[in-house]
Structure 1
Amino acid sequence: MTKNLIVITGPTAIGKTSLSIQLAKYFNCEIVSADSRQFYKEMSIGTAAPTAEELSQAKHHCIQHKSVKEIYTVGDFEKEALEILDKLFSKNDYAILIGGSGLYVDAVTKGLDHFPEVDPKIRQQLNDTLETKGIDVLQEQLKELDPIHYSNVDIHNPQRVIRALEICMGTGEPYSSFLTKSKKNRPFKSIKTGITADRQIIYDRINLRVDLMIKAGLIDEVKSLQEYQSLNALNTVGYKEIFKYLNKEWDLDFSISEIKKNTRRFAKRQLTWFRKDTEIEWFDYQSDLESFITYIKKNSL
């Protein structure tokens, strides 16, 4: 029988975790996370990682299995996730892939484009530039070297900008020239679903979640990571703003308001990415479980 990968996407705070657990119970299958922020064991509260209770309800993979001190690329994730899915599909016709990180979802369902190896010193040089001069300099550099990719990439994400620049500088060719967009064959069928809501509802849910994170101890979590704040994994929403507070650059209220603002912007970018994928069937966040089950069964083989 054909193996079916149930994909659950959508913006942050929309209810993906709850739905994935319900579907895992129904199809008696396991969950692979494609949320790039939830890979790290030191980052729990600020990434809204599944709670211990949620993890106990269904078997999860690629959740808090790495350290922020480790280098873990999307290519590493693609390889690991496919190996896990191969094992899962050996005993079940269904598995679930959940996440709001579009690139990581695409890595599993479509495959990554191939990029040549470049001198690691280039990345170090770019990281040094980011640290000393800020992301604006890198953005302008990318705009000059690869205007096509500049217009498509999330230029506020330093990891994405640096990755593109190291390819440009290491090969002498634009990053975009290596993007073939050729979909790789996978030994499973991807049944893609997305959860969405009116923008104001998404924003309200985000604002509430941030407040709950603060109450749950986000400041202490970030404080425990202060010595590692220069690492790429921690240059992310919810952490970089609290570092500003801990470094006495911002007051707490402003830091919290910036987390909310930056998370709302992040959600908007997530939706922009996923809306480009015509294979995704969108459901309102209040849709019942039966609606998802019916769609999945109809599209299973």
Structure 2
Amino acid sequence: MSHSTVDAVLLLGPTACGKSALAMRLADEIALEIVSVDSAQVYRGMDIGTAKPSAAERARVRHHLIDLRDPSEPYSAADFVRDAAAAIADIRARGKLPLVVGGTMLYAKALREGLSALPSADREVRARIEARAKEIGWPGLHAELARVDPATAQRLPPNDSQRIQRALEVFELTGVPMSALLAATDRPPLALATIALLPHDRAELHRRIEQRFDAMLAAGFLDEVRALMARGDLNPDLPALRAVGYRQAWEHLARA
């Protein structure tokens, strides 16, 4: 595989499968830079729970798409595709191979297959939807979604707050069901090679995930969440804080 045949290599896999370690080993052999495919690592102040690369790792190999946004700000798949395409072009212009690494499959799929013309996230619309959710619950909003976009509602469970919110947001902004917009997709002009790390032993993967979480707790993950709570302008319904571990830790600390 040469730089001339592909624009970037995607290295994908589930949490704790060894993606980051492999990426760093490859960097010892190949002139490359890493582009993060992680919907939580884009947020500043969310370091431990997202398993961001250490300062030493980032000094050793340049990483892109980390610490882009404040947790109060939305970040969408469309934002990712735009930012990733720009990072890939920048890396290639400097004669290196872009290695796109992560586990947010929605983002990876958008980069490989393209995005429909969905509108960008709108804070005011999202705030209205969240307020409505507090009144009638996400299952109630799921029922509302079923009336305006039955195809999308059918594939979403009633408690999938993030995707229900996005589907309602798209409909409110465009007047068109998200399922209809998704039918018209533009493929990004990128040649991508994909490497997928698939664990053979699920029990071993779960053990490694548990070990990773224990290490996060020891490193101060709960203190990190306390600091986010202490800001006063964040809440667990924000997209940033729906990241695995953060919402659960927030709710645990709120009950304590």
User: Does TM, scored on the shorter chain, surpass 0.5?
Assistant: yes
Give 1:74's aligned residue: 77
Partner deviation per Cα, 1:80-124 (whole Å, 9 max, x = no partner): 211111111113262111111112112323321102579864332
Query: What is the CA distance between 1:141 and its match in structure 2?
Result: 2.4
User: Any idea what SS the aligned residue of 1:31 has?
Assistant: strand
Give 1:161's aligned residue: 164
Distance 1:206 1:154 in 2: 25
Residue 189 (structure 1) aligned with residue 191 (structure 2): yes
Letter of the 1:232 counterpart: P
The percent identity for this pair of structures is 32
Residue 238 (structure 1) aligned with residue 224 (structure 2): no
Residue 229 (structure 1) aligned with residue 235 (structure 2): yes
User: Any idea what SS the aligned residue of 2:116 has?
Assistant: coil
Letter of the 1:148 counterpart: A
Equivalent residue in structure 1 for 2:100, among 72, 83, 97:
97
TM-score computed with the length of structure 2 as normaliser: 0.86
User: Any idea what SS the aligned residue of 1:95 has?
Assistant: strand
Alignment size in residue pairs: 248
Query: What is the CA distance between 1:74 and its match in structure 2?
Result: 2.1
Partner deviation per Cα, 1:269-296 (whole Å, 9 max, x = no partner): xxxxxxxxxxxxxxxxxxxxxxxxxxxx
Answer yes or no: is the 8 Å Cα contact 1:118–1:170 preserved in 2.
no
Residue 33 (structure 1) aligned with residue 39 (structure 2): no
Structural mapping, 1:25-174, within 5 Å: 25-92=28-95, 94-115=97-118, 121-153=124-156, 156-174=159-177
Partner deviation per Cα, 1:135-194 (whole Å, 9 max, x = no partner): 2222232234323223434764423211111223444432111112645142x4211111
Distance 1:229 1:116 in 2: 24
User: Any idea what SS the aligned residue of 1:134 has?
Assistant: helix
Distance 1:10 1:216 in 2: 24
Distance 1:50 1:38 in 2: 9
What do you get for the CA RMSD once the two structures are aligned? 2.4
Distance 1:118 1:16 in 2: 29
Distance 2:49 2:81 in 1: 24
Query: What is the CA distance between 1:66 and its match in structure 2?
Result: 2.0
Residue 23 (structure 1) aligned with residue 26 (structure 2): yes
Answer yes or no: is the 8 Å Cα contact 1:159–1:232 preserved in 2.
yes
Query: What is the CA distance between 1:17 and its match in structure 2?
Result: 0.8
Gaps of 5+ in 2: none
